[in-house]
């Protein structure tokens, strides 16, 4: 195989990761053994530590298995999986992998008279006002993911105005919350939402894949809820599990 030297820069491991991804994509089942870290280090012109870092990332993402006695075995079939929610949790980033134009609409922003999600999640609200908002993701102009957020007013450093806009949830938490959101615990089910089905242009009685989420901040406090519905014909999420 022709050598592809990595140019010196600030992201050597990222460059090595990308080159290894390209290499793995061209491999075939049964002929999927990667060279050793030492061999890859010589081929790409970087240290073994850089190669190890890239290979560790590939292993964590399920693209490589390190097998005693057999070395590193690559899994090109894993690259055919779309919308891997175990790898990328942000809906916008997932959609941009498969759609050219992805936009976000934010609506129904403000204090709720009555929380709508109590009982849908394992964590319960304490007393106090609840802030709510709807997010709708569009892919190539078509609504494909729709959901709602609810958070206690007490977790905000400043309440967003009714016409605010952000690109994603991390930006929202950095701008408006006392502590940034660190992760979401997702509970997957099927549900019915006639309003959302009508928005998607499908039958109101059609079951939709539903994601109930509890939001946690960096100190591991649960700070809010969200529930999202996915368009049944446009968006299918996948998860890679390793044994």
So what's the pLDDT on residue 68? 86
CB burial of 65-77 (b: ≥16 within 10 Å; e: otherwise) equals beeeeeebebbbe
193-200 own/partner pairs: CB under 8 Å, 24+ apart:
193/229, 196/146, 196/229, 199/136, 199/143, 199/146, 200/143, 200/144, 200/146, 200/229, 200/231, 200/232, 200/234
| Total structural domains within the chain | 2
Q: What would the pLDDT profile of 82-130 be if each residue is shown by its tens digit?
A: 888 888 889 999 999 889 999 999 999 999 987 776 555 555 666 688 9
Same domain, 124 and 196: yes
pLDDT for position 144: 97
216, 120: one domain: yes
133 shares a domain with 40: no
pLDDT band at 6 (very low <50, low <70, confident <90, very high): low
For residue 86, is it within any domain?
A: no
Domain that residue 108 falls in: 91-230
Determine, yes or no, domain membership for 6.
no
In tens, the pLDDT along 144-173 reads 999 999 999 999 999 999 999 999 999 999
- Token pair belonging to 69: 């006695």
> pTM above 0.75?
yes
Q: How far apart are CA 199 and CA 208, in angstroms?
A: 12
Q: Please report the pLDDT score of residue 7 as a whole number.
A: 59
């Amino acid at each position: 195989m022709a050598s592809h030297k990595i140019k010196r820069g600030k992201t050597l491991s990222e460059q090595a990761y990308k080159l290894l991804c390209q290499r793995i994509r061209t491999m075939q089942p049964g002929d999927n053994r990667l060279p050793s870290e030492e061999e890859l280090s010589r081929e790409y012109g970087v240290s073994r530590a850089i190669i190890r870092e890239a290979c560790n990332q590939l292993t964590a993402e399920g693209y490589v298995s390190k097998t005693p006695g057999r070395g590193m075995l690559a899994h090109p079939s894993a690259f055919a999986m779309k919308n891997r929610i175990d790898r990328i949790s942000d809906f916008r980033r997932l959609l941009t992998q498969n759609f050219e134009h992805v936009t976000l609409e934010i609506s129904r922003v403000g204090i709720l008279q009555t929380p709508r999600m109590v009982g849908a999640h394992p964590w319960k609200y304490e007393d106090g006002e609840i802030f709510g908002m709807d997010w709708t993701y569009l892919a190539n102009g078509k609504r494909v993911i729709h959901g709602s957020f609810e958070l206690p007013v007490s977790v905000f450093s400043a309440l967003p105005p009714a016409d605010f806009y952000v690109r994603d949830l991390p930006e929202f938490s950095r701008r408006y919350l006392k502590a940034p959101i660190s992760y979401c615990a997702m509970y997957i089910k099927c549900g019915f939402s006639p309003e959302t089905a009508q928005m998607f242009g499908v039958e109101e009685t059609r079951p939709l894949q539903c994601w109930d989420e509890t939001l946690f901040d960096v100190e591991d406090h649960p700070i809010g809820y969200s529930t999202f519905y996915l368009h049944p014909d446009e968006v299918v999420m996948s998860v890679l599990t390793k044994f």
